[in-house]
Amino acid sequence: MLSDPATPRFGANYVPSAGWFYSWLDYDPAAVRRDFADLAGIGLDHVRVFPVWPWIQPNRAIIRQQPIDDLLDTIDAAAEHGLSVAVDLIQGHLSSFDFLPSWALTWHKASLFEDPTVRDGLTAYCEKVAAAVATRPNVFAITLGNEVNNLWPDSPTTPEASTAWARELLTTVKKAAPDVLALHSVFDDAWYKPNHPFSPVDVVDLGELSTVHSWVFNGVSRVDGPLGPATLTHADYLVELAAAASLDPTRPVWLQEIGVPGPDIPVDLQAEFVRRTVEQVVHNPALWGITWWSSHDIDRRLLDFPDREYDLGLFTVDHRAKPAAIALAEVIAEVRSGGVQPAEATTLTAPYNLRTDLHRRAEIAPGSAFHLEWVKARTQGPVRIALP
């Protein structure tokens, strides 16, 4: 199942155009197919989809079949449009909202990562959904959840416990879906925050490829602005960190999320940001694929989202391709026509061992001396990162 594509994969994180993820509560097969027609039309080859955990398992003893059937129909709809599918299981965290079942909250409140009762429920959920989606031939990956480290500190954990949690659930998923990639997803605090209880080692050792999420509102856009070299190369920087920290020099890295968040990337610069960012990272030999966040905007009639979340889509809610979508389609066509050409690279040695000295993670964060040195060197060509 895991083979290096001749050119990187290109896809989108699927945000339904009608009703956001609340649409799972009132599933509309025709609306899903209209959305997937948009994505296939710009040359994408896959989608990452997000069933919502508490709506499938509202009680620890109940795993509802109807939402699983709706998920399977979504996967079938993708196949009808030539799209393969990655399924995330634990949502968990979506667009600034957390979705957890009541049996892990209120007077039942327990750590998602450490409580054995919650673990038992999660194991049953992951096993059931993974086995169901594995029946569809266009499902290529199952990720434990979307940035599960966003659920800390409300679910206390330690580096040891969070690693054990992920390893055990990945084993469950792989048993249920042996022919599908089993993956783990965290956001970049695992790389940059010294006290964060999720480690870069989780990213590069657990699961069958590494996943990184590149969001320039993490501070990197303040280094040099929306089209500065630090901002445009942040995705490539994360891919390089993951490649450097892996014990397997051939382990691929999936750029699983990247987008054009405002106000960091103003609307009139978003197309250029898309083109130049993709051009910076697409020739990296470690890159497996790029999955844009997100497919469609969020309807502004829905309330209480952070403002930047509403407009991250490649398409509007009424299916108009935005400048970011047009730019991405053009780059995809160029890459598929011309292929990738990895260039000769220089090497920069990290200030510490990225696998072991976790208390030093701030030394590679955006704006750090090492990061700025890497960005400066990157303006002259590709730069690999080596461990001391």
Q: Is 31 helix (H, G, I), strand (E, B) or coil?
A: helix
pLDDT tens across the length of the chain (388 residues): 454 557 899 999 999 999 999 999 999 999 999 999 999 999 999 999 999 999 999 999 999 999 999 999 999 999 999 999 999 999 999 999 999 999 999 888 999 999 999 999 999 999 999 999 999 999 999 999 999 999 998 999 999 999 999 999 999 999 999 999 999 999 999 999 999 999 999 999 999 999 999 999 999 999 999 999 999 999 999 999 999 999 999 999 999 999 999 999 999 999 999 999 999 999 999 999 999 999 999 999 999 999 999 999 999 999 999 999 999 999 999 999 999 988 899 999 999 999 999 999 999 999 999 999 999 999 999 999 999 9
Tokens linked to 78 = 């993708």
Q: How far apart are CA 134 and CA 78, in angstroms?
A: 14
Fold of 9-342: TIM Barrel (3.20.20)
Domain layout of the chain by residue ranges: 9-342
Q: Is 319 left (phi over 0), alpha (psi -120 to 50) or beta?
A: left
Beta bridge partners of 349: 386
Name the residue among 280, 274, 242, 240 with its Cα closest to residue 258: 274
DSSP string, 116-170: HHHHHHHHHHHHHHHHHHTTSTTEEEEEEESSGGGGTTTS---HHHHHHHHHHHH
Q: How far apart are CA 144 and CA 135, in angstroms?
A: 18
Longest C-alpha distance within the chain, in Å?
Answer: 58
Name the residue among 167, 132, 156 with its Cα closest to residue 51: 132
For residue 343, what pLDDT is reported? 87
